[in-house]
Amino acid sequence: MRFLAVTSMRNEGAFLLEWLAHHRATGFTDFLVFSNDCDDGTDAMLDRLAALGWLSHVRNPGPWDEGPQWAALKAADRHPLVRAADWILVCDVDEFVNIHAGDHTLPALLAALPEASAIALTWRFFGNAGVVRYQDRPVTETFTRAAPAVLNWPWRAAMFKTLFRNDGSYRKLGVHRPRSPDRDRLAALRWHDGSGRRLSGSFLNQRVFSDYGQDNFGLVQLNHYALGAMESFVVKRDRGRANRGGDFDMGYWIERNFCDVEDRSIQALAPARAALQAELMDDPELSRLHARAVAWRHARFAALMERESARALLGQLLMAPPSRALSAEAAEVVLTHARRAAARRKTTD
């Protein structure tokens, strides 16, 4: 069985080896990684990893009509690894698959859902928990405070990435879900959420978020370390988004900085991940490139602190408390308006 992870990276060298080691321990057999505009040596790290047989690296220099991520996914549609894969997941370097079934690997997840055509891996936000300085230590060990299992708002917290069977039912990759479905096959597809519940309707062809207000993490969750240390978030804003316009601002931070509960469940694979990561760091060239990426991140933050806008953002981060999970009643204030807006759109379409 071949499990393929597809991703796009820019200036993520400091986090690359942990992400790769964790997902190899999870059971992914192949990695297709695109890179663009790297200043920290991520592209050189990927070249070295490709030479060592750990992944396939494709440079994606642009220009792009729809941004680097969509350009990468369109190129991936034609790549031999995509054609050869049995199962595919498109995910980012700040997203870690966290399986609760069996031995915490992909085969165990599929054994729990043997008829699945696709599994929606719902994000679980891991907050900043007051970590100010970026340090070169595992993200999965540094950030252990997360959103509660049931979150009533924001709707973005219920977004998912899709692990799907690559059997021709979908012809194109997408950021959150496979696209261009074969209409004749839709009715036979079996989608499940992270707790194993059967999904239907718009989940089969367009939806990108799970039902919120319920626990979607019984079998698997997607740990989303979207914030990191405050210093890293300042650097992240400077980099910008991969697939659309807009900025990483305080609104982005507030909607993701949930620290309500401790969740160390991903540590079930920590020994296997650490062993694989140590194996990677035993390569002198990878070790050198990793150290270079870490140094770049520290230097870039220092350079950004010369700008008033970056200092202002850091000050706001320091002042902001963790986000408050809304009760169902409080969330209903927003949801009522959302339903009314949706109804008005239907009447005008």
In a domain, 27, yes or no: no
Which one-letter amino acid corresponds to residue 169? S
251-264 CB burial, b ≥16 within 10 A, e <16: ebbebbbbbbeebe
pLDDT at 65: 87
In a domain, 5, yes or no: no
In a domain, 272, yes or no: yes
Is there a contact between 147 and 157 (Cβ–Cβ < 8 Å)?
Answer: yes
In a domain, 241, yes or no: yes
Q: Which of 58, 37, 38, 36 shows the shortest CA–CA distance to 47?
A: 58
Q: Give the DSSP letter string of 184-240.
A: GGGGG--EE-TT--EE-GGGGTT--BPPSSS---SSEEEEE--S-SHHHHHHHHHH-
In a domain, 9, yes or no: no
Q: Quick one: tokens of 242?
A: 């991969």
Q: Quick one: tokens of 146?
A: 């997360």
Length of the chain: 349
Read off the pLDDT of residues 233-292 as tens digits, 9 standing for 90 and up.
Answer: 999 999 876 544 447 899 999 999 999 999 999 999 999 999 999 999 999 999 999 999
- Check whether 79 has a pLDDT greater than 60: yes
Is there a contact between 317 and 230 (Cβ–Cβ < 8 Å)?
Answer: yes
Read off the pLDDT of residues 289-330 as tens digits, 9 standing for 90 and up.
Answer: 999 999 999 999 999 999 999 999 999 999 999 999 999 999
- Check whether 188 has a pLDDT greater than 60: yes
- Check whether 64 has a pLDDT greater than 60: yes
Q: Which of 9-13, 132-136, 150-154, 340-344 has the weakest average pLDDT?
A: 340-344
Residues linked to residue 33 through DSSP beta bridges, in sequence order:
7, 57
* Count of other CB atoms within 10 angstroms of residue 281: 14
Q: Which of 317, 141, 145, 146 shows the shortest CA–CA distance to 233?
A: 317
Read off the pLDDT of residues 201-218 as tens digits, 9 standing for 90 and up.
Answer: 999 999 999 998 899 999
- Check whether 162 has a pLDDT greater than 70: yes
pLDDT at 71: 96
Range of the domain at 158: 93-348
pLDDT at 59: 97
Is there a contact between 108 and 99 (Cβ–Cβ < 8 Å)?
Answer: yes
Q: Quick one: tokens of 40?
A: 């920290």
User: What is the C-alpha separation between 259 and 146, in angstroms, rounded?
Assistant: 5
As a dihedral over the C-alpha atoms of residue 340, residue 343, residue 347, residue 348, rounded to 10 degrees, the angle is 70
In a domain, 34, yes or no: no
When the pLDDT of each residue in the chain is averaged and rounded to a whole number, the result is 95
Read off the pLDDT of residues 220-232 as tens digits, 9 standing for 90 and up.
Answer: 999 999 999 999 9
Alpha helices (runs of H) in 85-203, residue ranges in sequence order: 106-112, 139-142
Number of domains in the chain: 1
Q: Is the dihedral of CA 332, 335, 341, 345 positive or negative?
A: negative
In terms of pLDDT, which residue wins out, 344 or 129? 129
Q: Is the dihedral of CA 209, 212, 214, 217 positive or negative?
A: positive
The secondary structure element, H or E, covering residue 171 is strand 170-172
Q: Which of 106-115, 228-237, 278-287, 331-340 has the weakest average pLDDT?
A: 331-340
In a domain, 99, yes or no: yes
Percent of the chain predicted with pLDDT > 70: 98
